[in-house]
Amino acid sequence: MDLQPTVADTLRAVRQTFLSQVIEGLSRPQKMLASKFLYDDHGSQLFNRICELDEYYLTRAELAIMRTHVEEIAALVGARTRLVELGSGSGLKTRLLLGYLEQLAAYVPVDICPHEIRRCLNTLATSFPHLDVLPVYADYTENWSLPLCLQPFERTLVYFPGSTIGNFTPQGAQHFLARLRPLCAPSGALLIGVDLKKDALTLDAAYNDAAGVTAAFNLNLLTRLNRELNANFNLEDFTHRAFYAPDHSRVEMHLVSRREQDIHIGPIPIHFEKGESILTEYSYKYDLDRFASLARSAGFEPARVWVDANEQFSVWYLEAEGS
């Protein structure tokens, strides 16, 4: 399937707002950039490497849940479903799910990185040659629309794997989930991964791996700004820092300036004091009761929740209220 028209149209829209969002974020008292900007092509590849690291428990725990409970999940989903995945990435967990869903009407991967969608499509073409795949290149946190599904379907399952919901503040997560509810209604559901609260040592290791892949992933954001926005960041002048903030139940990821300096994004100057940082990602951690309450506030009813053997991660099946 030729993605070029969709990619070209979306790229134009994204690039119109990229510069303004970056300037606005770097002009705040606490400089910050949206975590979605970490995922250019190279950033996505680095994140896939992170998911394979020993310290990064999240992917292993979620895969263990899916492998153990995929038949139960498929039974809940039922036949003749349209599957919409947000942040499809490499599609590893999705391929597991696809193997159990009956009479799937269509698979709709939605991703901000066109290269990730292409890699996913190439893999699916081999594993599921008869599957109707309707890719969408889009920032799913903004406005986007579903493509026309030619096959009849009875419900929509929105799949949001990983722990990306943690990249939103709790209020932002509530608003985002509320926006997803119309996609699931009237008889569908949301299948979502949620990272759980745990000890700070485990979290510190997961976001500060010994091989430095997470640091490279974080610093790659500056490379992207240099390439796409004509910035002049020197990566050696910044260092990766990630830590758990227990008062907020979140991991914070920062890029810290090693010295006082001025950088430019095009003609626009940005001043950094020594030790000043750019906040590049939140990763909120939840307990089960708190996330259940958040889901209900967004119009979903938790029907099932599965937790791995080490109680590190959870997968939720949330039914749209009124379904």
What does the pLDDT look like over 249-262, one tens digit per residue?
999 999 999 999 99
Give the pLDDT confidence score for residue 150 in this predicted structure: 87
Give the pLDDT confidence score for residue 10 in this predicted structure: 57
For the sheet with 300-307, list strands across it: 136-137, 106-111, 81-86, 155-160, 189-195, 313-320, 300-307
> Is residue 9 over pLDDT 80?
no
* Residue 50 buriedness (CB in 10 A; 0-12 / 13-18 / 19+): buried
Percent of the chain topping pLDDT 70: 93
CATH of 1-323, one of 3.40.50.150, 2.40.50.140, 3.40.50.20, 3.40.190.10: 3.40.50.150
pTM (2 d.p.): 0.91
Give me the residue spans of the domains in the chain: 1-323
- Mean pLDDT of all residues belonging to the chain: 92
Give the pLDDT confidence score for residue 11 in this predicted structure: 62
CB distance 302 to 57 below 8 Å:
no
Higher-scoring residue by pLDDT: 119, 83: 83
Backbone angles phi and psi of 125, in degrees to 5: -60, -30
Residue among 130, 132, 77, 37 at smallest CA distance from 323: 77
**Beta-bridge mates of residue 60:** none
CA dist 48 and 137 (Å) reads: 19
CB distance 115 to 41 below 8 Å:
yes
CA dist 240 and 310 (Å) reads: 28
